[in-house]
Amino acid sequence: MPSHTLKAFTSELNALTSDVLRMGGMAEAMITDMATAFARGDSELARSVIQRDAEVNALETRLEREITRLLALRQPVAQDLRGIIAALKVSNDLERIGDLAKNVCKRLIAMGEEHGATGQKSVERMSRAVRLQLNTVLDAYATQNAQEAIDVWQHDEEIDEHYNSMFREVLTYMMEDPRKISQGAHLLFIAKNLERIGDHCTNIAEVVHFFVTGEDMPMARPKLSDLE
Amino acid sequence: MMSDPILPSAAPAHAGAAPQEQAVKVRVRDVTVSYDGAMAIDSVNIDIPDKSVMAIIGPSGCGKSTFLRCLNRMNDTISGCSVTGDIRIDEEDVTARNVNPVMLRARVGMVFQEPNPFPKTVFENVAYGPKIHGLAATRAELEDIVETSLRRAGLWDEVKDGLHKPGTSLSGGQQQRLVIARAIAINPEIILMDEPCSALDPIATARIEELIDELRQNYCIVIVTHSMSQAARISQNTAFFDRGKLIETGTTEQIFTNPRDRRTHDYITGRYG
């Protein structure tokens, strides 16, 4: 795309995109470390994830301020406007993803010694799946690739399947052994948090699609039927 | 987002809003204008809907004003200017030889960039058109038309105590509203505006924009503007011209959020030239 006649505006828009991507990189690293902390039972790593959430929040606040300034001073239209709104919405979803990763780490620390074999593999599998979703959707945002956004959007079903099977699995443990109820409850919240991270990735996919094409997603996303 | 695994949830249905049907007031087909052989606008096709505002945008020299002047045959008065093609107002061909341009201009009023009141009183400025077109049989009727027109133009309260002062004694914004009152006094169907706010300050501009928004209830308005934010504020449809060609036309919302043509996009986002 040609540069704006007013070149400062082009560089401001580029700076906005790189800030969003930096925020995305931070959220992605939080999910990776969260999964590692869970696999190893590493509460030190979990604490570092919790601390990093503040940086993501601070970056979101800074982006919001910059976006307000751009809207007031540049009065963007068309793809510029869609790009700025996309940055605002994506940064909001990334901030929520950071919060959810932080919450998983808090639960991990709370579970302490109880943390162990039960459900561990499932959490790891689900973490890998959501990290891949986030990675792909950030790539779609960076390269303005609508098709990639559609792919992410459609893949959310997989995360939902992970969640449903983990829900059943944990429920079974809890019914079998009441001593596992407290651990099971934490695991269920962890699974729900991961599922919510997946939802934020699909939100971002929708925003990216609108940013690039100016249109909503072309079809209805396949949905899992409710758990029986 | 997924449904809760315990509570069944109803998926919201997406209701697509049907676009509103708008009656076409002016139908332009294959209109080409050239000045002494140099083409100014090239085979323009456009439908202008009634009771709404259409904004014409585009860089200088793109043919916006030339296009506007086709609609009331103002180009006829320019020597060396040739207009071909078909322009229909309510399906009536207004380019035909037997159409009297003076009568046409009574149906299609025009407001220019610089306010141009006649060197007469406020009252006479507005009364002039109805008088020559014989729209008032009595003095009382004429006074009534003048008052109604000034009220519609949002000027009455400011000038009612000075109707016999010269029109040129008003401020720029008031003069522009006086000119609009003069245009609507002869009951036109269409009002053409060629950058009506470019000589006005932001407050006077806002008053004219508010007025245009009110007038669209009763008239078909076509406005040429260099201010894209003005086009976005006051028009329902926008047409983008570039180098004599109509590049794109659509609802103002569509043009300013998701233009189809790259050239429109580059122009409205400030990437032109």
Q: Where are the domains of chain B?
A: 24-268
Cβ(A149)–Cβ(A213) below 8 Å: no
Phi and psi for B40 in degrees, rounded to 5?
-100, -40
Phi and psi for B47 in degrees, rounded to 5?
-110, 125
Residue B18: its pLDDT value, please?
A: 36
Question: Which strands form B53-57's sheet, in the order they lie side by side?
Answer: B108-111, B190-194, B220-224, B53-57, B237-242, B245-251
Q: How far is CA B86 from the centre of its chain?
A: 19
Q: Which of residues 75-134 of B touch A (CB under 8 A)?
A: none
How close B263 gets to chain A, by Cα (Å)? 11
Report how far apart the first and last C-alpha atoms of chain A are (Å, whole number).
Answer: 50
Report how far apart the first and last C-alpha atoms of chain B are (Å, whole number).
Answer: 44
Q: Which of A88, A86, A52 is nearest to A69 (CA)?
A: A88
Say yes or no for a CB contact (<8 Å) between A4 and B256. no
Residue with the two structure tokens 């659509």: B250
For residue A44, give every residue at least 6 positions away whose Cβ sits within 8 Å of its Cβ, in sequence order, or none: none
Contacts of A5 in chain B (CB under 8 A): 270-273
Please give the average pLDDT of every successive group of 10 residues along chain B, which has 273 residues: 43 37 90 93 96 96 93 90 94 90 92 92 96 92 95 93 95 94 94 92 90 94 94 96 96 94 94 75
SS3 content of chain A, % helix, strand, coil (to 5): 85, 0, 15
Mean pLDDT estimate for chain A:
91
Residue pLDDT, tens place only, A46-82: 999 999 999 999 999 999 999 999 999 989 999 999 9
Please indicate if any CB of chain A lies within 8 Å of the CB of B21.
Answer: no
Does the domain at B24-268 match CATH 3.40.50.970? Answer given as no
Q: Residue A222 above 70 pLDDT?
A: no
Residue A121: its pLDDT value, please?
A: 84
